[in-house]
Structure 1
Amino acid sequence: MPYDTLLSPVTLGTLELPNRVVMAPLTRNRASQPGDVPSEMNAHYYAQRASAGLIVTEATQVSRQGQGYFATPGIYSDAQEAGWKAVAGAVHARHGRIASQLWHVGRVSHRSLQEGGAPPVAPSAVRARNTQVFVKNDDGSYAMTDADDPRALETDELPGIVLQFVDAAHRAKRAGFDMIEVHAANGYLLHQFMATGTNHRTDDYGGGIENRVRLVVDVLEAVASVMGSNRVGMRISPNFAGFDLHDDEGEASSLYLAQEAKRIGIAYLHLAEGDWAGGAPLSEDYRRALRDAYDGAIIVCGEYTAEEANARIERGEADAVAFGRAYIANPDLVERFRRGAPLNTPDEATFYGGGEKGYTDYPSLDAAAD
C-alpha cells in the first residue's frame, strides 16, 4: 500500500477514524430555498463521500447575521436542523463520520443577505476591500458584488454572538453530528477579532493578543460545554491573506489560542495553510511551536498530494490531512489513494451554485469501470 500512514486509523478526541483522510469544508452554494435548508441532494453528496475518515461540512452560518453568500446552509432554524439530521443520517448509513462547521462571516457580507437590509457586523468598522460575495439580485439573477461597509459590534452584543454559536451547537448535537468544528479562520468574524488589521477595539475584546482572542475562547468554551470538549475542533489560519485581512501577529495569536484550546481540552486543531489563498507558507518553526502549544490532534489542509500528506504525518507534523478540491471530483478519494488510481479533474464552472452537475455526478472507480 503506497500510503500506509495516511490510510491508517487515528483517534480525534473520543472519535475513532478508520483513516486520516479528511474531507475539508467546501462552500458549494446549493442549500434549498427559501430558508437555506440542506436538501436531499446535499445528503446524497455527503453520503457519497462517507469513506473519508471524517467529513467536515461546508461552513454553516449560525444565524442570518452570520451569512455572507447566497444559498449557503444555516443551522439556526428547525427546518435547517431537520435538513442536517437527514444529512448526518445519510452519512452514518454508510458508516461515515461527520462534523458540523459553525460559521459567522462578520464583515464578509452584503446588506441583501442580512435581516432587514442591515449592515454586516465586525469587530471594528473596517471594510473588506477588494472582497466580493455571492448574492441573488431582485430580478432573480446571481452576481458577485462588493462586500458592504460593516458596523462595529457593541460590547454588550458580544454575548449574543456566543449564544448564536451555542444555539447552533445544540442543533448540531440534536441533528446527530459526531463533532463540531468552530470556524475561527479564513478572515471571517472570529478571525477578524483576532487580527490586528480588523480589530481596533478599545474594550476587553481589543488591544493585546489575550483580548483579541477573547471572543474566540468564549465561543470555544461555550460550544464545548454543549457538545463535550472531546467532540469539538477548531479551524485556524495564521497566515491567511484573503478578504483584505491583515495581521501583524497571526502566528503569535494562533499559538496563544492553541494553548487555550489545550486548556479547554478540544479534540483537534484544523490548520488551514495559506497556499490556496496567496498566504506565506508556514515555517517549520511554527509547526513545532504549535505542537508544543497544543497536545491534541492536528489536521492540516492545503494543496497536498497523497504522497505529501503521507510524509507530513510520518514526520509527526500532523495527525490527519484534509483535502478540498480533490473531494469535489472524487467521492471515493480514499479508495483512489488505496489503489494508487488517477483522480478525476474538478469542473471549476460548477463549484458554486447549481444542481447535481458537478456535484453528485462525478464517477467513482467502480462506476467508471462499468
Structure 2
Amino acid sequence: MSKRDRHLNHLVEVFNLTSSDPSTFILMGIPGLEPARVWISIPFAMFYIIGLVGNFMLLLVVGKEQTLHKPMYLLLCMLALIEIGTSTSVVPKALYIFWFNLKGITVGGCLTQMFFLYAGSMMHSAILVTMAFDRYIAICNPLRYTTILTNTRIAKLGLVGLLRSLLFIMPLPLLLSRLPFCADHVIPHTYCDHMAVAKTSCGDITVNRTYGLVMAFVVMGLDLMLIALSYSLIIRAVLRISSKTAYQKALNTCTAHLSVMLMSYTAGLFSTLIHRFGQGIAPHVHIILANLYFLIPPMLNPIIYGVKNKELRDKVSKYTSRMCSHWATDFKSV
C-alpha cells in the first residue's frame, strides 16, 4: 500500500470515528509510526509491568514489615502509589491503541484522564520535595529526626501536597471544557495531554496556554528551589564531616533521591517545553519521550531504592525467597 493510500485510509478512519460520535476525541497514538505500533507496544508493556511489580512489591514489603514503618518508607509508599496511578492512567489506553486500534475516548473521559495525570505528576513533585526535607533533617539534625519527622507529620505533609495538586490542576479541565472544539476532535497523542487537547479547539487558547505554562514553571520552579535549598544545606553539612566513612554514608543516603529527582524533573520539564516550543522536533519523537516520562521513573525508582537501601533490599530478598519457596512447595505437591 502506497503512502498516499495509507493517508486516505487514515482520513476515512478518522472521519468515520468522529462523525459517528461528535462527543468523542480520537487519540491517534504515535502518528507516522503506525506500521511499527506492535513493536513499539512491546517495550511499553514490558516497562509498565516491571514498574507495577516493583512498586507493588515495595508496598507489600513496607506494609508487612513493622521495622519499615518509618517516615522515609512511608514517603516511598506514597511515591509508589502515585507512580502506579499515573502510569496506569496512560499506558493501558496506549496499549489499546497499539493492539486493538481503539482510539476513541469521550470528552469527559479525556478531561478526567488529564486531571488525574497532572494531579499525580504534581503530587509526585511534592513528595520529592518532602523527601529532600527528610534527607536534610536526617543529615543536618539527626538527633531530632524522630521528633521532627513522625509518621503523622509525614501523612499531613502528604495531605498538603494532595490539596495543592487538586487546587492547581482543577482549572485545567474546567478551562478546556468551556472551549469550542473543532469537528475532527483528533489528538495526535497516546493520552490527553493538556496542550494537545487545547490545540484541537477552534477558540482562543491563550488562557489555557498561559495557565499551563505558568503553573508548570511556578510550581515546579518552587519545588526545585526548595530541593536545591535542602541539598545546599546538606552539602555544607557533609563537607564539615571529618570522618571519611561518615562522609560516604551521608552521601549514599542522598544518592537514590537525587537519581529519582533528576530523572523525573528532567523528563517532565523537557516534555513541557518541547510541546510548546519544539516545533522543529518530529511529533513522534516528542510523543515517545512524553510517554517515557510515565514509563521509566515508575520502573526504575523501586530498583534504585532497592539497590541503594540495604534495609529495604534485605527485606525484599527475604520476601522474594519466601514466595519462591512457597511456590516450589506448591508445585511439588501437585
Task: Flag the structure with higher helix content.
Answer: 2
- Which structure's relative contact order is higher, taking Cα pairs within 8 Å and 6+ residues apart? 2
Larger Rg: 2
TM-score of the pair, normalised by structure 1: 0.26
Task: Flag the structure with higher strand content.
Answer: 1
